[in-house]
A and B are shown apart, each in its own frame.
Chain A
């Protein structure tokens, strides 16, 4: 087990390195450099900036150095928590993104939990009552739900919510809790506001998980060990829940790896539609205003967290399934 964990962690390192390169490339890609944009911005606001000041800023960010040195400077600072300055907000990036990343991850994880909480029981019911009315209904729903773009669903739901329920645009907090310090009330308020966005973000994943769960459970239910468990006198529920479901859950767990990036991805778009105070809107403004340190930090951190999540889920999976733990199957 320990070697397995070590191996997986070692595998994640080159991936993180690659991500940092891509993030850095995103800083570098826009035409002209961000300093020019920044200076132009300041000048257009009437500030007087001398060429010496520009030079000094160039020094500070190492812009006159070769690319690899710039990268090195950026990544070492980044690892130390120095993510640079947001030119647009004129604040350190770190102070801007902390809570938003946390909320983004929270909403994504909540969506993941909801996805499983909804999809696993439904998939199970579908499989154990194959071809019943409920099974057919869920199968059709899941069929439609797979691949639906969540932000469009959000858009349509927003309209109906506004039209028929009088709901105002999303957000994650009620007005009275907007800037309040953390308290039990605020947490509950947050949870209440998170349900709908999480449901929307999870639509596609839920539908997919229902289909996987149904198929694998059906597959497992026809295996001899279920029959053997029945022949031993186990209750039907126990025979189904303790044995095949345990096995059927494995492929579901192993999909966390690709569910997470998809959820974070969906969250980014949906949060813009619903106006959630998470990464999406800020990343969007950062990209529009070419506030590249901010944008790159978002991409870097979101990706890193996703990689970490995948890593955790892999370890979890190995812990659940002895066949992987002992290298029986790969």
Chain B
């Protein structure tokens, strides 16, 4: 963005030339110091103007808060089965009493009946007794982050014997909302971990490739081309199928992350290499090398800082791909499997259309994935536009 140089048009032409020159100098140095000081502020300013990006960021903050405090936010233990509530539909919250008065959110007990003529399941609200949604209720005990034993949940039913299923229940009578909230911890973290792994590989290979050039560069480039020419999903599937079923879940989680990074690093490595190639020629790098600095020192001290924002943008835009990858693999049963909870694992229940037709709410995890992906894209795009005003919005 151009900082408007203060135009000297106001300077009266009759003013002594010395004065005019001085004015000019002051105006120029002023403009320069603005430029120096405010690169970060400029980026922030531009970012703040982008409403979609702000919405994306806010959504992401909410989602990640949910993942961090999932034990507290989920109303129930995600593995608790509610007898007689298999595939219970989402509980309807009411804000008005039958008499038409406004009220705090409340709900009715839902009774399941079978229609005697069509044999279809029907659900009816039992309006005799109202139950309310309460904040900070005591419920299933849990250990916050596996450390602090607690039993307070953000919200819950006023009567522990009448459960509240805001997003329905699954085939085993478990509260879907609680499972989604717990699932976010894995689904959202796998993107971050995967991107960090990719970044590490990408930094090493891309950096080395861009820094040394020549043979090394050629080899790395061919490797990238090779990996990118294989359709990702079949490759992921092939690799994921090779994970031994006997592995504990944590190791599977790491395995999946590595598989996702196996493809993910290539993009980052390209980006990094390109930047390195451009920066290698910069005078100050040459000067540092000439002065006897170690190559690694040069990379860390001079090259890295100059493209942090650039990398940040690409990282943000790479995360949704990772999340989709995990969801897809787990959805197929090739990634994480129950009893681990991730959005993909939850969606596995939705593989059959007939199931979805009967209990459409089992698709809700998909909506969470879609929202997350869009939020990341909006945020990343906004970041890119803000960081580089000359980049095209493509």
Question: Which residues does A use to contact B, with CB under 8 Å?
Answer: 14-15, 18-19, 22-23, 26, 29-31, 143-144, 146-149, 151-153, 155-156, 158-159, 162-163, 168-169, 208, 211-212, 215, 219, 258, 261-262, 264-266, 268-269, 272-273, 279, 283-284, 287-288, 290, 295-296, 298-299, 302-303, 306-307, 310
Do A148 and B222 form a contact, CB below 8 Å, given A261-B232, A266-B233, A290-B241? no
User: Would you give the 0/1 interface string for B18-44, flagging 1 where the beta carbon is closer than 8 Å to chain A?
Assistant: 000000000000000000000000000
Q: Does B214 contact A (CB under 8 A)?
A: no
18 CB-based A-B contacts, threshold 8 Å? A18-B222, A18-B226, A29-B239, A30-B242, A143-B52, A148-B370, A152-B347, A152-B369, A156-B366, A159-B353, A159-B357, A261-B232, A273-B351, A288-B241, A288-B334, A295-B241, A299-B230, A307-B229
Q: Does B327 contact A (CB under 8 A)?
A: yes
User: Would you give the 0/1 interface string for B322-337, flagging 1 where the beta carbon is closer than 8 Å to chain A?
Assistant: 0010011001111000
Complex contact B374–A144 (CB within 8 A) = yes
Complex contact A26–B238 (CB within 8 A) = yes
Q: Does B261 contact A (CB under 8 A)?
A: no
Q: Which 5 A-B pairs rank lowest in CB-CB distance, beginning with the nearest?
A: A29-B242, A287-B241, A18-B226, A264-B231, A265-B233
Q: How many chain B residues have a CB neighbour from A under 8 Å?
A: 49
Complex contact A268–B234 (CB within 8 A) = yes
Inter-chain contacts of A302 with B (CB < 8 A): 230-231, 234
Complex contact B230–A215 (CB within 8 A) = no
A283 to B235, CA, bound (A): 11
Complex contact B226–A262 (CB within 8 A) = no
Complex contact B237–A215 (CB within 8 A) = no
A25 to B287, CA, bound (A): 46
- Given A149-B324, A149-B370, A303-B234, 17 more A-B residue pairs with CB atoms under 8 Å apart are A15-B229, A29-B239, A30-B241, A143-B377, A143-B378, A147-B324, A155-B363, A262-B232, A264-B234, A265-B232, A266-B233, A279-B234, A284-B334, A296-B238, A299-B234, A307-B229, A310-B229
The listed residue (A163, A168, A268) touching B360 by CB distance below 8 A is A163
Q: Does B350 contact A (CB under 8 A)?
A: yes
Q: Does B373 contact A (CB under 8 A)?
A: yes
Complex contact A15–B321 (CB within 8 A) = no
CB distance from B184 to the nearest CB of A (A): 16
Main secondary structure of the interface of B (DSSP, over half): helix
Q: Does B392 contact A (CB under 8 A)?
A: yes
Inter-chain contacts of B241 with A (CB < 8 A): 26, 30, 287-288, 290, 295
CB distance from B336 to the nearest CB of A (A): 15
Inter-chain contacts of B393 with A (CB < 8 A): 211, 215
Q: Does B320 contact A (CB under 8 A)?
A: yes
Inter-chain contacts of A268 with B (CB < 8 A): 231, 233-234, 237
CB distance from B300 to the nearest CB of A (A): 31
Nearest to B381 among chain A residues (CB) is A143
Complex contact B235–A299 (CB within 8 A) = yes
Inter-chain contacts of A29 with B (CB < 8 A): 239, 242
Inter-chain contacts of A307 with B (CB < 8 A): 229
Inter-chain contacts of A163 with B (CB < 8 A): 357, 360
Inter-chain contacts of A298 with B (CB < 8 A): 234
Complex contact B373–A148 (CB within 8 A) = yes
Complex contact A303–B230 (CB within 8 A) = yes
Q: Does B80 contact A (CB under 8 A)?
A: no
User: Would you give the 0/1 interface string for B41-77, flagging 1 where the beta carbon is closer than 8 Å to chain A?
Assistant: 0000000000010000000000000000000000000
Complex contact A155–B231 (CB within 8 A) = no
Q: Does B228 contact A (CB under 8 A)?
A: yes
A143 to B234, CA, bound (A): 27
Inter-chain contacts of B242 with A (CB < 8 A): 26, 29-30
Nearest to A18 among chain B residues (CB) is B226
Nearest to A289 among chain B residues (CB) is B241
A298 to B235, CA, bound (A): 10
A151 to B331, CA, bound (A): 10
Complex contact B226–A265 (CB within 8 A) = no
Complex contact A158–B356 (CB within 8 A) = yes
The listed residue (B225, B238, B373) touching A147 by CB distance below 8 A is B373
CB distance from B40 to the nearest CB of A (A): 26
The listed residue (B52, B239, B327, B333) touching A149 by CB distance below 8 A is B327
Q: Does B244 contact A (CB under 8 A)?
A: yes
